Chains A and B, each alone.
Chain A
Amino acid sequence: MILHILNRSPGSSLVYREALAGMGPEDRLLLIEDGVQGALTSQARHFESLGGRLFALREDLASRGLEGRCDASVQVVDVDGFVVLTEEADKTVSWF
Chain B
Amino acid sequence: MRYALLVQGAPYSSQASHSALRFAAALLARGHNLECVFFYHDGVYNAARLAAPPQDEPHLMDAWCALNTEYGTRLQVCIAAALRRGLLDEREAARHGKSGYSVQSPFELTGLGQLIDAGLGCDRLVTFSP
Q: Which A residues touch B1, using CB under 8 A?
A: 87
Structural contact, B126 and A5, CB atoms closer than 8 A: yes
Where chain A touches its partner, the secondary structure class is helix
Summed over the interface, the residue pairs from A and B with CB atoms below 8 Å come to a total of 44
Known: A33-B19, A96-B130. A82 touches B26 (CB 8 A): yes
Q: Complex: how many Å from CA A5 to CA B5? A: 13
Rounded to whole angstroms, the CA-CA distance of A65 and B1 in the bound complex is 33
Interface size classification for chain A: 10 to 19
Q: Which residues of A contact B95 (CB under 8 A)?
A: none
Chain B residues proximal to chain A, CB less than 8 Å: 1, 3, 15, 19, 22-23, 25-27, 29-30, 32, 124-130
Chain A interface residues (CB < 8 Å from chain B) = 5, 7, 32-34, 59, 79-80, 82-84, 86-87, 91-94, 96
Sample (26) of A-B pairs whose CB atoms are under 8 Å apart: A7-B15, A7-B19, A7-B129, A32-B19, A33-B15, A33-B19, A79-B23, A79-B25, A79-B26, A80-B30, A83-B26, A83-B30, A83-B32, A86-B3, A86-B27, A86-B124, A86-B126, A87-B124, A92-B124, A92-B125, A92-B126, A94-B126, A94-B127, A94-B128, A94-B129, A96-B130
